[in-house]
């Protein structure tokens, strides 16, 4: 039987663990702090002070602390740092550390690959291998902080995968991350991004999942969104935005982030900007404009700076808070899936025997 992963245990599970080990439940809080807060360079849970011998023995026999190996890393001129992490089964995922305004944001992957199939996303080209567990997502955070030597202030679930296709494990991770005695992130500093999986968004509303919501819209007509985001054929724009309105209403007018990747000649016209204003009317959302980060093999280009500025100006004129987010780490291929793809290509090339 595989050992239970401490990284994925909530307080109730740690209490049960202490009961199984025959020790006081008071040790659950000490374990929780050691797992989620007091890591650093020493990753041996048995070095936690004041753990009774009986509990140490039980932990050694029945549990493990997941510590993914960093198999590749790259750092950009802007300080963005990208890590490729190998999980226990050898599957690799990316996590990105993004500095800014005196704080560090970490972009977390939720799946190995992705099944949504957005045509502008490199991760989608590999398809879905498997979901990540909550323990593996926690391990991404702790690995990132340990390797960087810095405290992460914000978490964004915007890496590899569609978080809401892995709802149960992602919800468990979000609750571990926002547990005041666990990882202790403010719910306002944890953002989950979805391509528009409407039933799972509705479940988020019912479950009152303690995080912010970001929605990757990327088009103003169903015809265009059907083409670049196949999920739209099942959950079209009107249905998606109705669900966003319901989320905003139930969450007390909480602001939702609308992400819009600008693709040259596809969705970046002034007519698109006007339609986006109409779609956003009365919603109070913030719009993030993301000029496409071009990559060989994908059939899209970044719009001209003038087109980006004109698009934003129309939204601002309509009273919509609009921010142009330049891709961090463009010089190190920090867009989702790029480092993993490049490492895989290098490995493949290294196995090729030169012709005689």
**121 catalytic residue (yes or no):** no
Rounded Cα–Cα distance for residues 209 and 83 (Å) = 28
CA distance 250 to 259: 21
Q: Give the active site residue among 92, 94, 136, 169.
A: 94
Contact 285, 279 (CB under 8 A): no
Q: Interhelix angle for 167-178 vs 198-207, to 10°?
A: 40
Query: What does each C-alpha distance from 80 to 106, 112, 258, 330 come to in angstroms?
Result: 10, 22, 23, 9
Helix (H/G/I), strand (E/B), else coil: 161:
coil
Long-range contacts of 343-347 (CB under 8 A, 24+ apart): 343/71, 343/72, 343/84, 343/92
Catalytic residue among 18, 121, 285, 336: 336
CB atoms within 10 A of CB 126: 15
Cα→Cα distances 197→200, 263, 341, Å: 6, 22, 26
**Residue 92, both tokens:** 């690799």
Residue 70 annotated in active site: no
Do the beta carbons of residue 150 and residue 48 sit within 8 Å?
A: no
Separation between Cα atoms, residue 73 and residue 217, nearest integer Å: 30
Tokens representing residue 233 in the block: 């054929």
Q: How far apart are the first and last CA of the chain?
A: 49
Q: How many CB atoms lie within 10 A of CB 21?
A: 20
Helix, strand counts (H, E) of the chain? 11, 14
> Rounded to whole angstroms, what are the CA distances from 12 to 32, 38, 249?
11, 20, 32
Active-site annotation, residues = 94, 336
């Amino acid at each position: 039987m595989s050992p239970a992963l401490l990284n994925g245990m909530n307080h109730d599970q740690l209490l049960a663990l202490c009961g199984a080990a025959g020790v006081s439940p008071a040790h659950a809080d000490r374990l929780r702090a050691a797992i989620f807060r007091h890591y650093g360079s020493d990753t041996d849970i048995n070095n936690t002070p004041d753990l009774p011998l009986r509990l140490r023995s039980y932990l050694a026999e029945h549990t493990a602390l997941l510590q993914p190996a960093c198999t590749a890393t790259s750092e950009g001129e802007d300080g963005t740092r990208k890590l490729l992490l190998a999980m226990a089964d050898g599957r690799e995922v990316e996590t990105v550390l993004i500095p800014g305004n005196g704080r560090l944001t970490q972009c977390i992957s939720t799946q190995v690959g992705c099944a949504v199939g957005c045509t502008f996303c490199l991760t989608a080209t590999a398809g879905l291998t498997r979901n990540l567990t909550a323990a593996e997502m926690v391990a991404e955070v702790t690995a990132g902080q340990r390797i960087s030597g810095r405290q992460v202030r914000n978490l964004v679930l915007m890496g590899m995968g569609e978080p809401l296709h892995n709802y149960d494990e992602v919800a468990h991770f979000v609750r571990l991350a926002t547990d005041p005695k666990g990882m202790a992130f403010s719910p306002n500093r944890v953002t989950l991004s979805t391509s528009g999986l409407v039933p799972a968004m509705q479940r988020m509303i019912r479950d009152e999942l303690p995080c912010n919501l970001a929605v990757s819209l990327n088009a103003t007509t169903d015809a265009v969104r059907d083409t670049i985001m196949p999920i739209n054929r099942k959950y079209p724009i009107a249905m998606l935005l109705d669900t966003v309105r319901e989320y905003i209403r139930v969450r007390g007018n909480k602001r939702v982030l609308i992400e819009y990747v600008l693709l040259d000649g596809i969705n970046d016209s002034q007519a698109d900007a006007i339609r986006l204003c109409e779609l956003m009317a009365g919603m109070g959302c913030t719009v993030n404009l993301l000029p496409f980060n071009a990559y060989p093999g994908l059939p899209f280009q970044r719009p001209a700076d003038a087109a980006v500025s004109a698009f934003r100006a129309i939204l601002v004129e309509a009273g919509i808070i609009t921010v142009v987010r330049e891709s961090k780490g463009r010089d190190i291929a920090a867009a989702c899936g790029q480092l993993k793809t490049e490492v895989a290509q290098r490995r493949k090339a290294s196995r090729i025997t030169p012709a005689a």
